[in-house]
Amino acid sequence: MFKVGHIDNTAGLSTRNLLSSYRLISYEPSVTLPDTSLKSSFVVNKPKSKGKSSQAMLHVFPNPANEFIVIAYRLEKEGDLTIVSQDGRIVHTQIINPGQNQVVVRVNYLTSGIYVARMVEGKKVHSTKFTVK
């Protein structure tokens, strides 16, 4: 028996990649989360209306990032997360759910520069900048 996708086992890597390509298994490599004391980009948007007292939050760390970012958020309903480069290209997009409250996004394939993480919840849009080294 071998570990599927173990780094020292080429047969396991090939098997994992083949099964993943046919969507028979899902594979996400493990990611070590960063120290939360690192510099981060943080924005809290408070509604100006006196109605419902909800708060949307979007927090990106580490900033600057090398291999991944953790995006912490607070939503009331399903939303969309988009990462946009300086030249306006969308480099990442995904649906985010209110129950999760954070997501890890790999950024090691991005070129160095400033990016914008944008969260859309209904008609509300929240964004914050972060840097990739």
- Domains of the chain and CATH, by start: 1-30 (no CATH), 32-132 (2.60.40.3080)
What is the pLDDT, as a whole number, of residue 13?
A: 67
Question: How would residue 27 be classed by pLDDT, with cut points 50, 70 and 90?
Answer: low
Measured between alpha carbons, how far is 80 from 113 in angstroms, rounded to an integer? 22
The Cβ of residue 80 has, within 10 Å, a number of other Cβ atoms equal to 13
37 Cβ neighbours under 8 A, 6+ residues apart = none
What letter does residue 29 receive in the DSSP assignment?
-
- Band (pLDDT 50/70/90 cuts) for residue 57 is confident
- The rounded percent of the chain whose pLDDT value lies above 90 is 42
The per-residue pLDDT for 6 is: 45
**Could you tell me if 54 and 75 are in contact, meaning their C-beta atoms sit under 8 angstroms apart?**
no
**Whether the predicted model's global pTM rises above the 0.75 cut:** no
Cβ neighbors of 120 (< 8 A, separation 6 or more) are 79, 80, 82, 126
Average pLDDT in the chain: 77
Considering only residues 14 and 54, tell me which one the structure prediction assigns the higher pLDDT: 14
- Residue, of 106 and 55, whose pLDDT is higher: 106
Greater pLDDT, 12 or 82: 82
Q: What is the Cα–Cα distance from 78 to 32, expressed in whole angstroms? A: 26
Of residues 122, 79, 131, the one with CA closest to residue 101 = 79
Confidence at residue 71, expressed as pLDDT on a 0 to 100 scale: 92
The pLDDT score that the predictor gives to residue 5 is: 44
- The pLDDT assigned to 49 comes to 47
C-alpha distances (whole Å) from 86 to each of 29, 90, 103, 112, 129 are: 28, 10, 22, 10, 10
